[in-house]
Chain A
Amino acid sequence: MRRLARLAVVALAAASLGGCTLVSASSAPTVVNSANVPLELLSPTIPFTLDQQVHFVIRDVYLVNARGTLVAVGRLMPSPPDLNDVLHYLLSGPTPTEQGFGITSAIPATLAVNLATPDGRVAKIDVSSVLRQLSPLEQRVAVAQLLYTVSSIGFHAVAITTNQSPFTLVLASGRRVRVVTTADLAYLK
């Protein structure tokens, strides 16, 4: 009987040893002394600069929902964001999570922005000729995405060229415009 009890104790010890971890988890996080943190990581400004800091803001880029209308999604970008920043996030398309909700983009993945420059409150955007290969309806939705995205940083119109050639958008009414305003495509929002 005593022998059995001893065997049980040994087996229990072996089982507990096999089951438990040899590196114990912390009960609470350990704070590292700030003096020991290298590379000036805790500095409020960027090292070797004139007290520069980087701030971020959230701005909307416009994608397309399952009904075919525009939907605004927030994107974090350096503050203040410029034209190229917002266009970069627009061309990056929806995140996997957004795709899960049926959000897409009418802008082809092969479309490249060659140049984007502000002209007052009009954004001049030169893109690759892929835009011309889209159907008129697709062109309207794609241009609406560009227009409303740049509108989130203060522009109210876009003038689009494809490889330096002027691009004319045919609106649903049949009217042809080179400078597209938010009023022209408000029905898509």
Chain B
Amino acid sequence: MGKRLLTHNIILARLLGCALSLLGAFLALSVPLEAQTRERHFGQVNINAGRGMRIGVDNRTTGRITVSGWDRDTVEARAVSTRGTEVVVVDHYNNGGVISFDFIGDYADLDNPGASNVRVDTPPEVDGKPLKVHLEVRVPRYIQLKDIEVWRSEVEINDMDTGVAVSGDRSKITLRRVNAVKVHTTSGDVEIDGVNELASVVTTTGAIRATGSRKLIVAVSITGPIEVKCSAGRVDVSNTGAPIVLENIDGDVDAIATNSNVRLSSGVREGGRYYLKSMSGRVEMVLPANTRGFDAVLSSYQGSVESDFKLATKLTADGAQNRRVAGRFGNGKAQILLDSFEGAVRLARVEAQSIPTCK
């Protein structure tokens, strides 16, 4: 009897322990992480960095945010405007041993330049708009950047060995030599250059321009033109109402448009696959004359189908509708599929030097 009661109490105690643990975890997660310390610095601020540290960047109203990776183990930040030096607010967090800092560009009280700890209540204005405060931050390349969320502030990030995620509305986003990127804007243009790993860019109306990517590029837009040049990796792009222009792509290509044209100017790789498609736009692939070979299927339901290459034709449907040409040129070791429903489809041949080379 006593033994059974003891067992019963042990079970109850364990259940109570579990419940308390769950409650603690719930409270820990539900309570927002407050800044442990906040400091305001007039002029430049330097902080020693370490691996595992996370850095956030922002500004109080608007202005350009620039983050550059360098080979020092320190973080250096300063804020400037057309008035001169402004204030950098530094929030320091320690979340279970994970150290992070947020750097926020803010306005200095120019009447009391020494009193940087005084917050200016009303942002100064220029032409009825808040004065832009530009935040410039230098960080070790290995530093993990927190996701950057801006409204209309321009964001420029250079030379980072880590991934970067930026979300903006009207902001122009420029990312150069970053390991991986994930960007989303509404109307802001996005420019990426030299991304090592995955580059994923989505805009509603903003233009997307990507050069020198080494791995996969995924770009989606509704009305923003997409231009990808000199990509060593696969390109997967789609657009609803603006053109897709691709140049010198070493990897496979999937480019799909609805109301717009698709054009690829590039040599083909043996084993490569190139799929260009549009609903109502023109689809064109421009190949150098020294192309060694490919298998091609060119089709258009209502438009014309043309090939400058003499294909060893396997199939031709040349009616008033549903035109289709399938054939082989040379060694046939690449696959080309060009298709449009309403638009013209063309496989063009140009002299090799007509296609611009990559630097």
A binds B: no
Q: Spell out A's residues near B (CB within 8 Å).
A: none
